[in-house]
A and B are shown apart, each in its own frame.
Chain A
Amino acid sequence: MNYNWNWGVFFEELPGGEATYWEILLEGVGWTLAVSALAWIIALVIGSVIGTIRTTQSRPLVALGNAWVEFFRNIPLLVQIFLWYFVVPEVSAPLKAWVVQAEPSHVQFLMAVIGLGLFTSARVAEQVRAGIQSLPRGQRAAGMAVGLTTTQTYRFVLLPMAFRIIIPPLTSETMNLIKNSSVALTIGLAELTFRAREMGEYTFNFFEAFSAATLIYIAIAMTANRVMAHVERRVAVPGYIAGGAK
């Protein structure tokens, strides 16, 4: 294999001389973090609601929750992003009007956040449901027995423990979400993988570009992992099962 390694390529300028390659990679990291952060908030909020209603006694709510999870979990993420970006604006005239005149990167960003957020919300919902169902049945009964309403039982008895239990799988999901954000390159959002590919195309130094992207993804995912581990320790209830990760 006769590959000409050239690590200095990061300091070379793009054709057109607007920026150097490390600068555009850094810009890419910015988009990756922004998409991941916003999508994570959407996923956590919607996922918690959907996961919770799936454990209630109300049949319509459970059916709604099931439908949500099956819909967003069973369509490939790549297809979902494509649908949000290309198809949804075609069926909604006001949205189309906005999309045509808006800054393209804003449209791409918005669609990527929605697509990724909703896709991940289905997965978070499954974990929240599993967390609640893993609690002993007596907890719900105890909540009811002391006179709490259903909402209060969830708020003060079930959810606080369920969320502690699901921190480890939620950590994996967070890391998945960060890596999944690279799918946004298919709608032209200039995130990290997009920039790495772009750099490869211009310089043909694909190995250097993707080595850098790999290291950056590892660094971001590891940071998320450490933050979540810290949260897990901070909120641990002494003597309870989720007190692990010391």
Chain B
Amino acid sequence: MSRLSRLLPALIGLTLISTGALAEELTGTLKKVKETGTITIGHRESSIPFSYLDDKQQPVGYAMDLCLRIVDAVKTKLNMPNLKVNLQPVTSANRIPLMQNGTIDLECGSTTNSVKRQEQVAFGPTYFVINVTAAVKKNSGIKTLADLNGKTISTTSGTTSVPLLKQYEKTKSVDVKEIYGKDHAESFLLLSQDRSSAFIMDDILLAGQIANSGNPGDYVIISESLRQEPYSMMLRKDDPQFKALVDKTIGDVMKSGEIEKIYAKWFTSPVPPKNINLNFPATAAIKDAFANPNDKGVQ
């Protein structure tokens, strides 16, 4: 039996080579996955509905669904139906180092694809486009970003919202005071405690915080936008083989229209764990990203 089990991989390998499935030599991530027999996916713990833990502490979400398509494609490509899938929680601070040192092979969360970040990592096709904007209390009377002049706003430290806001202040000669929360929940807490008049963040994350709050009816998201940013899955740089597989897999999901079903499942239907509906239909920018799959980063 043991001899047989040792022989089996060799036999399978031979069969594959003879059928030409492995005609192309494996490099980068695919080579690593083939050699180790595992692929490790980095996921977030509270990026609702992209990648987060459900009530059974399992990572689920829109980005996770898309990444599992990639895993399926890897299984097919390497002919490894029993490929082991490791799930590794990551944070916004450690996702890059973990990707670079090989702990994770693919990151599926809510990561903005920017030109600057592309110097360190690569991205798959854009699967979501956010607007950086503000959530305010309905009774505050704030309707536009300009109304924030002289007010205190909260935002989450380390996010791209901070420099955007600074830029806006400079160009529109608006003056605001900033408070930083360490995560989105804290930034929202500051707004709900009236310690800030607005929470500046990606619109979808604002919608998530509002939907999860005790009284969602009290809050409203301003329709003005500071900037649009594409979200995408992150992979290692200079790995053309894996990148091509990711692009093809996600591109196919988008072109076949299957993406609309996956989108509806997470953004316009109730999602676990609290069965809250985010009511966030696809914007024009998101529909455009689905129609023309691309990995362009923002400046």
Number of A-B residue pairs at CB separation under 8 A: 86
Q: Closest chain B residue to A187 by CB distance?
A: B182
Interface residue tally for chain A (C-beta within 8 Å):
33
Judge if A57 is at the interface, Cβ distance under 8 Å.
no
Cβ distance A96 to chain B, nearest Cβ, rounded Å: 8
Q: Closest chain B residue to A190 by CB distance?
A: B180
- How far apart sit A203 and B102, CA to CA, in the bound complex (Å)? 20
Q: Closest chain A residue to B96 by CB distance?
A: A204
User: Which of these, A103, A185, A200, contacts B182 with CB under 8 Å?
Assistant: A185
Q: Flag if B182 contacts A186 (CB, 8 Å).
A: yes
Q: In residues 207-244 of chain B, which contact A (Cβ within 8 Å)?
A: 236-238
Q: A1-B101, A197-B158 are in contact. Are A86 and B237 (CB under 8 A)?
A: no
Q: In residues 117-144 of chain B, which contact A (Cβ within 8 Å)?
A: 117, 119-121
Per-residue contact bits, chain A 177-201, to B (CB 8 Å; 1 contact, 0 not): 0000000011110100010011011
Q: A15-B163, A100-B194, A104-B152 are in contact. Are A188 and B97 (CB under 8 A)?
A: no
Main secondary structure of the interface of A (DSSP, over half): helix
Cβ distance A27 to chain B, nearest Cβ, rounded Å: 14
Residues on the B chain within 8 Å of A186, using CB = 182, 186
Cβ distance B141 to chain A, nearest Cβ, rounded Å: 17
Residues on the A chain within 8 Å of B121, using CB = 204
- How far apart sit A194 and B178, CA to CA, in the bound complex (Å)? 15
Judge if B193 is at the interface, Cβ distance under 8 Å.
yes
- How far apart sit A128 and B271, CA to CA, in the bound complex (Å)? 55
Q: In residues 71-122 of chain B, which contact A (Cβ within 8 Å)?
A: 92-94, 96-97, 100-102, 116-117, 119-121
Q: Closest chain B residue to A188 by CB distance?
A: B180
Residues on the B chain within 8 Å of A204, using CB = 96, 116-117, 119-121
- Between B157, B160, B162, B167, the greatest number of chain A beta carbons within 10 A of the residue's beta carbon is seen for B157
Cβ distance A200 to chain B, nearest Cβ, rounded Å: 6
Q: A16-B166, A16-B167, A206-B96 are in contact. Are A4 and B119 (CB under 8 A)?
A: yes
- How far apart sit A186 and B158, CA to CA, in the bound complex (Å)? 12
Interface residue tally for chain B (C-beta within 8 Å):
38
- How far apart sit A73 and B192, CA to CA, in the bound complex (Å)? 31
User: Which of these, B100, B167, B179, contacts A188 with CB under 8 Å?
Assistant: B179
User: Which of these, A2, A188, A201, A203, contacts B237 with CB under 8 Å?
Assistant: A2
Q: Flag if A188 contacts B182 (CB, 8 Å).
A: yes
Q: Flag if A194 contacts B163 (CB, 8 Å).
A: no
- How far apart sit A86 and B247, CA to CA, in the bound complex (Å)? 45
Residues on the A chain within 8 Å of B100, using CB = 1-3
Judge if B293 is at the interface, Cβ distance under 8 Å.
no
Judge if A99 is at the interface, Cβ distance under 8 Å.
yes
Q: Closest chain B residue to A196 by CB distance?
A: B93
Q: Closest chain A residue to B195 by CB distance?
A: A100
Q: Flag if B93 contacts A201 (CB, 8 Å).
A: yes
Beyond A16-B170, A185-B157, 5 additional contacts (C-beta under 8 Å) are: A4-B120, A15-B167, A89-B195, A100-B195, A202-B163
In order of increasing CB-CB distance, the 7 nearest A-B pairs are A188-B180, A201-B158, A16-B163, A15-B163, A104-B179, A204-B120, A16-B166
Which A residues are closer than 8 A to B by beta carbons?
A: 1-4, 6, 14-16, 18, 86, 89-90, 99-100, 103-104, 108, 185-188, 190, 194, 197-198, 200-207
> Can you list 26 A-B pairs with a CB-CB distance of less than 8 A?
A1-B100, A1-B102, A2-B236, A4-B119, A15-B116, A15-B164, A15-B167, A86-B186, A89-B193, A90-B193, A99-B195, A100-B195, A104-B179, A186-B182, A190-B180, A197-B157, A198-B157, A198-B158, A198-B162, A200-B96, A200-B158, A201-B158, A202-B116, A203-B116, A204-B119, A204-B120
